[in-house]
């Protein structure tokens, strides 16, 4: 939250979201459009904050996801005392380290001296590395050779995976996300990490028309993946690798089957809790 004054009264909405992915991210984006200013991810969903002067009985009426049959959302609300929001954000965002090689941290964290030091301010964007799917995608990238390759980071969120791809030697990275918050945040994070080979693009699969890549990262959700796999396949060069995440273990068979229809074959996968990050190859 940009406003750091402590004399304003905010209302906290504590949302329980089931399932959380991708709906936490969608909910944050839509709440941002109606005046909510800050978000904290929780074990059960998100906490969202809006100025008391902005809060109204009808504030959620235009938030489409509240009436979405694909997820269940409940909330409790409470007025909270004046708060130093920068301090709250810092308190609730902890750095993460993957395989002792890559750290994702905020600017106020001290560098730990790992091989890949990524500094981000996630604001309202998904993809900090704390979620199981992003964590596993970082693991995959640390084990893959992307040197001198052209890479696509689809559903890029904060841009952290595209940033890591350049750090790992990619010569060109397109980081695409349909969400405006993510787009703007990724632009900031790319600049902050001096990863000038990462081009941040606002949009969806339609942005892939006429483009081709050696390596694709797609961390989105089951339904979007199943819808867009044929588009990814068309954009992936023969012999190229594609990493998929954003779905549960029981969905892996559906992802595999859809990939086979497009000439993409299963190679291996990582599992963290019930989440999957799979590696596929275009035959």
Q: Which residues contact 157 (CB under 8 A, 6 or more apart)?
A: 25, 125, 126, 127, 134, 177, 182, 185, 186, 219
**Segment 69-107, tens digit of pLDDT:** 889 999 999 998 766 655 665 666 788 899 999 999 988
Q: Report d(CA 36, CA 33) in Å as an integer.
A: 7
- Choice between 258 and 224, residue whose per-residue pLDDT is larger: 258
The percent helix, strand, coil of the chain (3-state, each to 5) is 30, 35, 35
Banded model confidence at residue 123, pLDDT cuts 50, 70, 90: low
Q: Please, are residues 118 and 95 in contact by the beta-carbon 8 Å criterion?
A: no
The average confidence (pLDDT) of the chain is: 89
Angle at 187 between CA 186 and CA 190, to 5 degrees: 80
**Segment 212-256, tens digit of pLDDT:** 999 999 998 888 899 999 999 999 999 999 999 988 898 999 999
> How many Cβ atoms from other residues are within 10 Å of residue 129's Cβ?
25
- Helices then strands, counting H and E runs in the chain, come out as 7, 14
Averaged over 139-154, what is the pLDDT? 97
Q: Looking at residue 129, what is its pLDDT?
A: 63
Closest CA to 11 of 36, 46, 29: 36
Banded model confidence at residue 4, pLDDT cuts 50, 70, 90: very low
pTM: 0.73
């Amino acid at each position: 939250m940009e406003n750091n004054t402590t004399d304003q009264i905010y209302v906290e909405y504590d949302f329980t979201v089931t399932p959380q992915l991708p709906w936490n991210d969608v909910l944050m984006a839509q709440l941002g459009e109606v005046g909510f200013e800050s978000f904290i991810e929780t074990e059960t969903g998100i906490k969202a904050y809006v100025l008391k002067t902005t809060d109204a009985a009808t504030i959620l009426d235009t938030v489409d996801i509240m009436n979405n049959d694909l997820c269940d959302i409940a909330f409790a609300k409470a007025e909270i005392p004046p708060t130093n929001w920068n301090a709250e954000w810092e308190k609730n965002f902890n750095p993460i380290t993957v395989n002792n090689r890559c750290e994702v941290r905020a600017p106020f964290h001290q560098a730990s001296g790992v091989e890949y030091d990524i500094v981000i301010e996630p604001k309202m964007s998904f993809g900090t590395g704390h979620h199981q799917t992003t964590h596993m995608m970082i693991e995959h990238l640390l084990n893959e050779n992307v040197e001198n390759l052209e890479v696509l980071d689809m559903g890029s969120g904060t841009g952290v995976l595209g940033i890591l791809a350049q750090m790992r030697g990619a010569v060109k990275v397109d980081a695409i996300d349909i969400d405006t918050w993510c787009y703007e945040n990724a632009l900031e994070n790319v600049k902050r990490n001096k990863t000038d080979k990462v081009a941040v693009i606002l949009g969806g699969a339609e942005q892939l028309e006429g483009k081709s890549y050696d390596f694709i990262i797609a961390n989105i959700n089951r339904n979007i993946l199943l819808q867009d796999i044929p588009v990814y396949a068309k954009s992936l060069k023969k012999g190229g690798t594609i990493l998929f995440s954003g779905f549960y273990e029981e969905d892996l068979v559906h992802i595999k089957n859809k990939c086979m229809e497009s000439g993409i074959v299963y190679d291996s996968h990582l599992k963290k809790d019930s989440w999957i990050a799979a590696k596929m190859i275009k035959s």
